[in-house]
Amino acid sequence: MTLTTTLPQPCGEMEDCPALEDRILALRDNGMTFKAVGETLGLTPSRARNLYLRACSRRAGKKPAWTDGLNQRLANCLRWLEFNSREEVAQALQSGHLRRLAACERSLNAAALVELEQWLTSERCTERDKAS
C-alpha cells in the first residue's frame, strides 16, 4: 500500500494545529507507527504520539445527546468509529458491521455489544425517540 503524504498547511504555532493532528490521525489509521509518522511529517516519534493523543481526546470531546444512556467510554468509542446517530448504530448492529468492527477494536468487546443491544431496545430510548 502506498500512501501519498502531503504536509499540512502551516499553522503558525505547531502547538495548536488541527490540520497536523488530523494528518497524524489519518496516518495512524492507515497503520503507520509513531516513528514512521514522525519521519513523514518531520517530527520526533514522541511528538507525533503526543499530538495523536491530544487529537484523540479532542475527538472524544463531549458526549452527544444521542448517546444518552450509554457509558462515556462506549459513547466515545462510537464517536471514534464515526457514528452520528442511534439509527446508524442500530443499522450497523443489524447488518453485522459492529460485530466485524469488534474483531479489531479493543474497546468494542462482547460486553459493549450487549450493552449496545440493551441500549437500542431500552424503553427510555424508544420513548425519547418518539417524542423528538
pTM: 0.47
Greatest alpha-carbon pair distance for the chain in Å reads 52
The helix or strand, by DSSP H or E, that contains position 127, with its residue range, turns out to be helix 123-131
Q: What is the pLDDT along the chain (132 residues), one digit of tens a residue?
A: 555 555 544 454 445 577 888 899 899 989 999 999 999 999 999 999 888 887 887 776 666 678 888 887 888 888 888 888 899 999 999 998 888 888 777 778 888 889 999 999 885 555 455 554
CA atoms within 13 A of residue 40's CA, in its CB half-sphere: 21
C-alpha grid cell for residue 28? 495512524
The span from the CA of 38 to the CA of 14, in Å, is 14
Three-class SS of 83-117: CCCHHHHHHHHHHCHHHHHHCCCCCCCHHHHHHHH
pLDDT at 13: 42
CA atoms within 13 A of residue 7's CA, in its CB half-sphere: 10
